[in-house]
Every structure is written in structure tokens, then in C-alpha cells.
């Protein structure tokens, strides 16, 4: 009976996840189409195709890699919800990992599935509320937020977030963490074009590299 309930839950997760993923994809595509029709602004199809040929393959590759990267880390429900709400590497992933770490569960377990999904859902709700508050308060708070004294603090928000998570996981997997940390340091120092905007691409790259290194170290008996 328990196995049947678990399978039923996972079936509903995949059913709802696919449904909402398709709906969101339709909505995303519908917006530029609607704007084009309302304002009679038809794009130059030749230029559009040239732009897609130059950029789309990269995002296809990243999208495929992210599926294999995030599912083991977030679970099925958390992955579907993250892909619908977005901002995975900067927000959803740290929230889910921290929640599962505190609950002492893994994403591959039933408990981890539930905890990860709840953490990402709460993160999405909180993000929406913060955005609403920000929209309301942006005008009166603009003089304060634009003050040069606060610029360094805002620049350090993301590094501080990932730094706090890194301390926990590096301390638990010190041997395994050396290789990916060195790889990212070398890449970001030697290639200045890699910046905060490339985090979504570099996270899957780092995960794949870490898994490969972990396998080699395991075969060598170093882990």
C-alpha cells in the first residue's frame, strides 16, 4: 500500500509538472506574439533567425545539462517547480539544499522530495511578495538604494549567499571540493568574460566536472 501511494504521488508530480511546464512555455511565447500583434511590430525574420542560430544552441545545451544536474539535487517536484518559477542557481537551489541539509534528508528520498518542493514553493512565494513590496516602495526608496555607499553591499549579496553554503559543504567534503574550487578560480580569473551573468551556465559545468572527479577519486580509493 505504501509503495502504491508513493508511486501515485510521483505520478501526480510528473503529470502536474509537465502540464505547468507546457503552460508556462505557451505563456512565455505568447507575450512577444501579443506585443507584436498589438503594436504591429513584426520582427525582421532574417535577423531573428540569425540571432537564434548564434545563441539558441548554447541554451539548448545548458537546458539539457541542467535537467541531469538539478534533478538529483532537487528531486522531481523541486525541479519542475524551479523550472516554472526560474532563478534556480541564485535562489531555488540554495534554499532547497539548505532545507534538506537542516532536515537531514536527501533529494532522492521521499522526505527529500517533499522538503525540497516545499522549500522552493515557499521561496517562490516569498520572492513574489518581496517583488510586490519592492515595486510599491521603489520610488520612495530610490534615493537610499542608489547611494554609492550601499553599492559594495549589493555587489556582495550573491557571493555571501553561496559562500555560506560553500563553507558547510566544503567542510564535509574537503577532498572532493578542492578540484571544482580550483577549476572555477582558474576559469574566472583567466577568463574575465565569465561573470555573475554566467552562473547559470557554470553551475552545471561545475557539477559535471565534480561528478567526473569524484568517480576518478572513488576508483583510486581516495574517497
Give percent above pLDDT 90 in the chain. 13
Q: At residue 139, does pLDDT exceed 90?
A: no
In a domain, 167, yes or no: yes
- What's the confidence (pLDDT) of residue 1? 44
Give the pLDDT mean for 155-167.
77
User: Are residues 129 and 220 part of one domain?
Assistant: no
User: Which tops the pLDDT comparison, 162 or 25?
Assistant: 25
Could you tell me if 163 and 105 lie in one domain?
Answer: yes
Count of structural domains, the chain: 2
Looking at the structure, do residues 162 and 88 belong to the same domain, yes or no?
yes
The predicted model gives 190-213 an average pLDDT of 77
Whether residue 5 lies inside any domain: the answer is no
Greater pLDDT, 6 or 134: 134
Same domain, 121 and 151: yes
**Domain carrying residue 216:** 174-223
Whole-number pLDDT of residue 169 = 73
Burial of 112 (0-12, 13-18, 19+ CB in 10 A): buried
Is 117 domain-assigned? yes
Residue 153 belongs to some domain of the structure: yes
Residue 134 cell numbers, joined:
519592492
C-alpha span between 173 and 179 (Å, rounded): 11
pLDDT tens-digit series, residues 79-105: 999 988 888 877 888 889 889 988 888
Q: Which residues of 67-96 are buried (b: 16+ CB within 10 A; e: fewer)?
A: eebbeebbbbbbbbbbbebeebbbbbbbbb
Report for 6-15, 104-113, 124-133, 185-194: range of highest mean pLDDT: 124-133
Q: Is 59 inside a domain boundary?
A: no
Single pTM value for the model = 0.65
Confidence of residue 126 (pLDDT cuts 50, 70, 90): very high
- Does 180 lie in the same domain as 205? yes
Q: What is the DSSP string of 74-133?
A: HHHHHHHHHHHH--IIIIIHHHHHHHHHHHT--TTSHHHHHHHHHHHHHHHHHHHHHHHH
pLDDT > 70? residue 6: no
User: Do 203 and 164 sit in the same domain of this protein?
Assistant: no
Q: What is the mean pLDDT of the chain?
A: 83
Amino acid at each position: 500500500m505504501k509503495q502504491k501511494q508513493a508511486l501515485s504521488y510521483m505520478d501526480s508530480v510528473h503529470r502536474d509538472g509537465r502540464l505547468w511546464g507546457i503552460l508556462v512555455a505557451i505563456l512565455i511565447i505568447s507575450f512577444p506574439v501579443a506585443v507584436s500583434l498589438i503594436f504591429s511590430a513584426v520582427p525582421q525574420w532574417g535577423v531573428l533567425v540569425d540571432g537564434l542560430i548564434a545563441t539558441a544552441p548554447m541554451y539548448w545545451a545548458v537546458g539539457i545539462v541542467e535537467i541531469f544536474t538539478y534533478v538529483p539535487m532537487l528531486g522531481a517536484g523541486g525541479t519542475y517547480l524551479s523550472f516554472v518559477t526560474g532563478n534556480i542557481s541564485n535562489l531555488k537551489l540554495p534554499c532547497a539544499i539548505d532545507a534538506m541539509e537542516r532536515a537531514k534528508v536527501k533529494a532522492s528520498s521521499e522526505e527529500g522530495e517533499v522538503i525540497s518542493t516545499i522549500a522552493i514553493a515557499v521561496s517562490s512565494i516569498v520572492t513574489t511578495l518581496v517583488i510586490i513590496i519592492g515595486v510599491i516602495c521603489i520610488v520612495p526608496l530610490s534615493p537610499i538604494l542608489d547611494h554609492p555607499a550601499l553599492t559594495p553591499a549589493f555587489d556582495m549579496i550573491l557571493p555571501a549567499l553561496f559562500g555560506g553554503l560553500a563553507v558547510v559543504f566544503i567542510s564535509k567534503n574537503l577532498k572532493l571540493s578542492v578540484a571544482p574550487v580550483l577549476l572555477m578560480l582558474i576559469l574566472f580569473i583567466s577568463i574575465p568574460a565569465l561573470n555573475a551573468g554566467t552562473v547559470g551556465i557554470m553551475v552545471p559545468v561545475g557539477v559535471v566536472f565534480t561528478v567526473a572527479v569524484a568517480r576518478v577519486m572513488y576508483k583510486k580509493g581516495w574517497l
